[in-house]
């Protein structure tokens, strides 16, 4: 199979979606798919660099621009990217196109409707858009959902929400995010698990990092490592730390492979998402990385997370409640054997969600679509 994987943003990009694209590209190649990755080049390296992987033999990079020529070059545009991509489609004739960007999917389906396009849905874009853009995005989303050859949902919550808002009957499948399972088992200091607590991810407000800082104030003697902030975000959070509470260490954003080294040492990993925005739909990459590293997980009680995480793998708390979050962390920090058991169960569960397994399922799905 010759698959065109199109992503109209710079790669690598300091966002989880860049890491997800990198892992899926690598895994699809490992699953025997010939992948052409159309992307905007970045001065920070090649697209798979954040995950510490070399470029596979089955991968061809197709760097394209998303900026118009001078004097309009300061503006970036998906349309500019699409025009160049269409020329490649006409020349290369890929078996299928795989897209997770709603506007790019819409433009490709309008311009090249006979080339099978598989759309990966990560959220309901219109529902989370600014009011001025909502109607246009809803029209684009409806068109993509009814004209794509197939739909890949990142969670059942996304699937349900899209069916609530739109009428479509395309072939569809739910494929959650995944994890790279470490080759060597993690060695963790479970007896002192209250001193080995980690959060790894962006510091956006809906991620609930502020709630974690507030929860830390109620946990004297504990130690937390928060990874992933920009300089200004780190300084803002540092000013909110309560000295009498948990020891909180703030580290800047780093590559996925570097963050995984910290996860290998962590005992308890926290997913403090608030019940707002895309939290209702997300299949958080960090959840699978936490489980893959054998961490006991403390997670916000959200439907999309309950699709994957069970009671045996961690503890739940009410989203947006620092007090409930602190109590969930304490329930593991004061019970090292329970935390160890949760971590072991999480590692086993992670084996059901590997990148190679996800890529193979996607390949089978696309194969079935192309036979119709």
Please check whether residues 27 and 118 belong to one and the same domain: yes
DSSP string, 212-238: HHHHHTT-TT-EEEEEEE-HHHHHHHH
Q: Long-range pairs for 308-317 at CB < 8 Å and ≥24 separation?
A: 308/176, 308/283, 308/349, 308/353, 309/346, 309/349, 310/345, 310/349, 312/341, 312/342, 312/345, 313/342, 313/345, 313/346, 313/349, 314/342, 314/346, 315/342
| Residue predicted with more confidence, 67 or 54 | 54
Q: 287 near 308, Cβ under 8 Å?
A: yes
Please check whether residues 230 and 157 belong to one and the same domain: no
Q: What pLDDT, on a 0 to 100 scale, did the predictor assign at position 372?
A: 78
Q: What pLDDT, on a 0 to 100 scale, did the predictor assign at position 72?
A: 52
Q: 34 near 124, Cβ under 8 Å?
A: no
183 in a domain, yes or no? no
3-class SS letters over 70-93 = CCCCCCECHHHHHHHHHHHHHHHC
| Percentage of residues of the chain with pLDDT beyond 70 | 98
Please check whether residues 120 and 18 belong to one and the same domain: yes
DSSP 8-state class, residue 68: P
Binned at pLDDT 50, 70 and 90, residue 80 comes out as very high
295 in a domain, yes or no? yes
Please check whether residues 360 and 337 belong to one and the same domain: no
Question: How deeply is 341 buried, as exposed, middle or buried, from its count of CB atoms within 10 A (0-12, 13-18, 19+)?
Answer: middle
68 pLDDT above the threshold of 90 = no
301-343 pLDDT per residue, tens: 999 999 999 999 999 999 999 999 999 999 999 999 999 999 9
Phi/psi at 243 (5° precision): -55, -30
Number of structural domains found in the chain:
2
Please check whether residues 85 and 102 belong to one and the same domain: yes
Q: Return d(Cα 336, Cα 170) in angstroms, integer.
A: 47
Q: What pLDDT, on a 0 to 100 scale, did the predictor assign at position 303?
A: 93
Positive/negative CA dihedral, 56, 101, 4, 154: positive
As a whole number, mean pLDDT of residues 151-157 equals 97
Please check whether residues 169 and 220 belong to one and the same domain: no
Largest distance between two CA atoms of the chain: 64
Q: What pLDDT, on a 0 to 100 scale, did the predictor assign at position 76?
A: 64
Q: 309 near 347, Cβ under 8 Å?
A: no
Please check whether residues 332 and 215 belong to one and the same domain: yes
Q: What pLDDT, on a 0 to 100 scale, did the predictor assign at position 39?
A: 97
185 in a domain, yes or no? no
120 in a domain, yes or no? yes
Q: What pLDDT, on a 0 to 100 scale, did the predictor assign at position 356?
A: 97
Buried b / exposed e over 204-232, threshold 16 CB at 10 Å, is: eeebbbbbbbbbbbbbeebbbbbbbbeee
Please check whether residues 174 and 36 belong to one and the same domain: yes
> pTM for this structure?
0.93
Domain of residue 311, CATH code: 3.40.50.2000
Please check whether residues 97 and 244 belong to one and the same domain: no
Please check whether residues 11 and 125 belong to one and the same domain: yes
Domain limits for position 211: 190-350
299 in a domain, yes or no? yes
Binned at pLDDT 50, 70 and 90, residue 67 comes out as confident
- DSSP H helical segments within the chain, as ranges? 16-30, 78-92, 102-111, 131-147, 156-165, 209-216, 231-238, 256-265, 285-292, 303-306, 322-333, 336-350, 355-370
279-292 pLDDT per residue, tens: 888 889 999 999 99
68 in a domain, yes or no? yes
Q: What pLDDT, on a 0 to 100 scale, did the predictor assign at position 128?
A: 82
189-248 pLDDT per residue, tens: 999 999 999 999 999 888 999 999 999 999 999 999 999 989 999 999 999 999 999 999
């Amino acid at each position: 199979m010759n698959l065109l994987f199109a992503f109209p943003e710079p790669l690598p990009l300091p966002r989880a979606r860049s890491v997800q694209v990198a892992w899926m590209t690598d895994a699809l190649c490992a699953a025997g798919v010939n992948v052409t990755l159309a992307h905007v080049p970045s001065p920070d390296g090649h697209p798979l660099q954040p995950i510490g992987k070399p470029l596979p033999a089955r991968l061809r990079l197709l760097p394209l621009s998303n900026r118009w020529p001078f004097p309009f070059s300061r503006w970036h545009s998906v349309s500019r990217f699409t025009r160049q991509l269409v020329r490649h489609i006409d020349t290369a004739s890929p078996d299928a196109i795989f897209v997770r960007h709603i506007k790019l999917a819409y433009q490709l389906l309008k311009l090249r409707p006979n080339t099978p396009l598989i759309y990966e849905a990560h959220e309901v874009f219109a529902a989370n858009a600014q009011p001025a853009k909502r109607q246009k995005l809803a029209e684009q989303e409806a068109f993509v959902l009814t004209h794509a050859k197939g739909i890949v949902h990142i969670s059942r919550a996304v699937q349900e929400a899209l069916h609530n808002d739109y009428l479509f009957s395309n072939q569809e499948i739910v494929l959650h995010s995944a994890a790279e399972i470490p080759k060597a088992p993690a060695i963790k200091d479970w007896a002192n698990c209250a001193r080995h607590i980690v959060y790894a991810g962006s510091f956006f407000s809906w991620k609930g990092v502020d709630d974690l800082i507030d929860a830390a104030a109620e946990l004297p003697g504990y130690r937390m490592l928060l990874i992933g902030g920009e300089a200004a975000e780190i300084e803002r959070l540092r000013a909110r730390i309560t000295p009498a509470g948990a020891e909180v260490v703030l580290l800047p954003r780093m590559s996925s492979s570097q963050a995984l080294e910290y996860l290998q040492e962590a005992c308890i990993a926290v997913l403090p998402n608030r019940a707002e925005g895309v939290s209702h739909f997300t299949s958080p990459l960090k959840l699978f990385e936490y489980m893959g590293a054998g961490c006991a997980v403390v997670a916000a009680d959200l439907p999309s997370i309950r699709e994957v995480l069970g009671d045996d793998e961690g503890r739940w708390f009410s989203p947006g409640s620092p007090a409930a979050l602190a109590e969930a962390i304490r329930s593991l920090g004061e019970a090292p054997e329970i935390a160890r058991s949760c971590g072991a169960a999480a590692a086993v569960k992670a084996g059901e969600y590997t990148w190679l397994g996800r890529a193979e399922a996607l390949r089978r799905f696309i194969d079935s679509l192309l036979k119709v």
